[in-house]
Amino acid sequence: MASDAVAISRTEVEDRPWVDTLHEWVTTVDHKRIGLLYILFALVFLVIAGLEALVIRIQLMYPHNDFVSPQVFNRMFTMHGTTMIFFFAMPILFGFGNYLVPLMIGARDMAFPRLNAFSFWLSALGGFLLYFSFLGGSGLYGAGSAPDVGWWAYAPLTARAFSPGSSTDYWTIAVLVSGFGSIGTAVNLIATILCMRCPGMTLGRMPLLSWLYLTMSGLALIGITPLSAAQLMLLVDRYLGGHFFDTQAGGSATLWMHFFWIFGHPEVYILVIPAFAFMSEIIPVFSRKPIFGYPVMVAATVCIAFVSMSVWAHHMFTIGMNSYANSFFAITTMAVGVPTGIKIFNWLGTMWGGRIQFKTPMLFAIAFLFQFLIAGLTGIIQAAVPFDWQLSLSYFVVAHFHYVIVGGILFAIFAAFYYWYPKVTGRMLSERLGTLHFWLFVIGFHLTFDPMHFAGLLGMPRRIYTFEPGRGWDAINLIVSIGAFIQAVGILVFVANLILSYWKGARAGNDPWDAWTLEWLTSSPPPAYNFASIPTIASRRPLWDLKHPEDPDSRYE
Amino acid sequence: MSTFAPPIVEPTFDTAGVWSLPSRGKVGMASLIVAESAIFTIFVVAYLYYLGKSLSGPTPRQVLEVPIFYTFCLLSSSLTIHYAGKSLERDKKRAFLGLWLLTIVLGGLFMFGTAREWYRLIYEHGLTIATNLFGTTYYSLVGLHAFHVTAGLIMLSIVLAFSLAGRVTPRHFGRIDVLALYWHFVDAVWVVVFTVVYVIGR
């Protein structure tokens, strides 16, 4: 009955002129639409940055290759890194947060809907500015220019003397503007989670996803702002003749490194905590068991957020800090593995003894567990300072952080797509294409990033333009490049699945996975107002209580 | 199961039967203040790190004078805005308007003090943001704070315009309180900047 009503309103929308629909989307303040805008924006940048990665891999396929010039190669790895972090990972995770958090806490919208729209358009402006640099990086004559200072943009390379033209300014301003957008969304998520919960939803009954987004937003407030401050200083240096990072006038290049990594390391956790959030919703549902150790999961997450604020200089062991600083950052880095390990044990504890359903979201979730574990272990290896001195700036590091970001975060994002797509569109994603996507991506991922560790151990430096034959890197690089193309095919299958299933997918209904959180209570897709009447809950699994009135969770709380 | 599902359970609350949550305005502003504090922290760290590292003059000791009067103005404005809010809550419109205006005047005096100091530094001592590390860090840190005071003054003036039009009522106390929170933050930051620049820095 209810879904009929929704279907009728949908046809009405389709009959209207497309300009009206476009206008509605551009001016929207609805958290679901803004969430979708974030996600679509991020997917576009995923494809762009993926193509840049392919250019890098074609260039490194053979020794002495000259597919692109060294200048273009520098631009490619700079743009690939910057885009993936600031314009794919951040917006897509904020997009999911925007879409899901109000639904899961039983609210009708975010706390500040207009701030929400403003934050999204700031991020979009940032992405536009970054890519406009291809046209305007050296003035309008310099077509083909773009930032080429690396994604961490170390001083003094960013000084006017070494980076003339405007491409570095586009990089700075793009990152600064998107940072302001991120802060706006973080403020909004915190206010939403603390102030908009439906009756009965105490902090201890919130879905773990809300808890993890709350932690991530808090971390974003103090993690992203140092970068904004450093970018402001860089702008002062470049435009007003300041000396913050100008070694000629007594300034310090190392200070930029500190400021960048004070942002840079928490950033990893800002990205991975939402990935943990997806896992904490998906694994219980497909194991048919409530999450194991809910309070410990919350405590471990908050603990990770705190410890992650004090590990940044493990990115800087090779710059020559004193041994006390080295020891401090080595110990904190190893310590952050403890709460992370607790989380992995709790996910395993959730699966243990459960009736596991191997649907596509669960496949990606299981791959996440294995890959994220390996990624964490290679991280702890590099926390050992003498070992890091050997491996820093090698392909081992590249392999490590891609294992975290692709093997961990991207796999979690795929799991989230397969899990929540039915809620967003009302259609199921194809399981056949999903399984194909999963296996292509797993094989491509391991072909790409496993051999990279060995390239690093054999001494291959990162950001190298080309290499001499006969150093033992030839076969490895060829395999890595083949793996990259298999991943690209996997992404094509994924995008095809998203598009085809939108029209051809099976009808999902309100609750296709027999799940327990509030977003599955409303129709798919949810109406603009989310819930006709605001629900009242009495346990962590409100839909379980509804489906099993004879044995509700609330009895045991 | 219908879309328009009824509440899942009968509302039963342990805590006196009332479901109350914090004000989103206050939580939002508190979050913004946390973020802003991190930005200021980075600028303060840069200031302290570069103390005495300038390769050429002038030095802080040679040119900086402690702005005691203007500091007094800014810090008192925290009191006036607090009592302005109290007056509004008790529906004393004239007292609110007077205290609010006084807050703006005190904030404006502070900005006047900053402007005079900068004028003196630039035209009498030739210290600009490009002169040396002291100039770069000083103008950035004090300027960042002055930018926040200016933003606050603009918001205060908007409220003033509305209240002159008779549109500010006790109903708006919550919003005024959020703005006051921002203003207190700007004052608190000045205490840090003052300590760093005029006490430790000299």
Query: How close is the nearest chain A Cα to the Cα of B171, in Å?
Result: 19
Give pLDDT, residue A165.
Answer: 82
> What's the CATH architecture for A2-556?
Up-down Bundle (1.20)
Mean pLDDT of all residues in A107-116:
96
Give pLDDT, residue A17.
Answer: 87
Model confidence over A152-187: pLDDT tens digits?
999 999 998 888 888 899 999 999 999 999 999 999
Q: Choose from A213, A225, A514, A533 for mutation: most chain B CBs within 10 A.
A: A225
Helix (H) or strand (E) holding A131: helix A113-136
Residue type at A284 in one-letter notation: P
φ and ψ at A393, to 5 degrees? 65, 20
Give pLDDT, residue A138.
Answer: 64
Could you tell me the pLDDT band of residue A145, with boundaries at 50, 70 and 90? confident
Give pLDDT, residue A554.
Answer: 85
Residue A4 has pLDDT above 70, yes or no: no
Give pLDDT, residue B17.
Answer: 63
CA A555 to mean position of chain CA atoms: 37
Domain residue spans of chain A: 2-556
Within 107-126 of A, beta carbons closer than 8 Å to B belong to: 111-112, 115
Mapped onto helix, strand or coil, the DSSP state of residue A137 is strand
Instruction: Check: CB of residue A63 under 8 Å from CB of residue A469.
Output: yes
Instruction: Check: CB of residue A20 under 8 Å from CB of residue A33.
Output: no
Interchain CB distance below 8 Å, A187 and B28: yes
Within 218-247 of A, beta carbons closer than 8 Å to B belong to: 218, 221-222, 224-226, 228-230, 232-233, 236-237, 240-244
Residue in B with minimal Cα distance to A526: B3
- Residue A139's beta-bridge partner residues? A137
**pLDDT above 70 covers what percent of chain A?**
96
pLDDT of chain B, 202 residues: tens digit per residue: 444 444 555 444 444 567 889 999 999 999 999 999 999 999 999 999 999 999 998 999 999 999 999 999 999 999 999 999 999 999 999 999 999 999 999 999 999 999 999 999 999 999 999 999 999 999 999 999 999 999 999 999 999 999 999 999 999 999 999 999 999 999 999 999 999 999 999 8
A–B interface: beta-carbon pairs under 8 A: 163
Residue with tokens 């392909």: A395
Residue in B with minimal Cα distance to A199: B19
State which CATH number among 1.20.120.80, 3.40.50.720, 3.40.50.20, 1.20.58.760 fits the domain covering B24-200: 1.20.120.80
What count of other Cβ atoms lies within 10 Å of the Cβ of residue A203?
A: 12
B27/B4 Cα distance (integer angstroms) = 31
A552/A548 Cα distance (integer angstroms) = 6
Residue in B with minimal Cα distance to A3: B3
Which chain B residues are within 8 Å of A508, Cβ to Cβ?
none
User: Among candidates A78, A49, A248, which has minimal Cα distance to A168?
Assistant: A78
Which chain A residues are within 8 Å of B8, Cβ to Cβ?
521, 535-538, 542-543, 545-546
CA distances from A458 to A399, A479, A481, B115, B194 (A): 13, 15, 18, 60, 54
Model confidence over A71-97: pLDDT tens digits?
999 999 999 999 999 999 999 999 999
Give pLDDT, residue A379.
Answer: 94
B169/B88 Cα distance (integer angstroms) = 7
Model confidence over B73-86: pLDDT tens digits?
999 999 999 999 99
Mapped onto helix, strand or coil, the DSSP state of residue A549 is coil
Instruction: Check: CB of residue A290 under 8 Å from CB of residue A284.
Output: yes
Residue type at B179 in one-letter notation: L
The pTM score is 0.94
Which chain A residues are within 8 Å of B36, Cβ to Cβ?
225
Which of A17-21, A376-380, A447-451, B50-54 has the weakest average pLDDT? Answer: A17-21
A143/A161 Cα distance (integer angstroms) = 21
Interchain CB distance below 8 Å, B23 and A186: no
DSSP string, A441-489: HHHHHHHHHHHHHHHHHTTPBTT-S---TTSS-HHHHHHHHHHHHHHHH
Give pLDDT, residue B16.
Answer: 53
Model confidence over A253-308: pLDDT tens digits?
999 999 999 999 999 999 999 999 999 999 999 999 999 999 999 999 999 999 99
- The crossing angle, in degrees rounded to 10, of helices A225-240 and B24-49 is 50
**pLDDT above 70 covers what percent of chain B?**
92
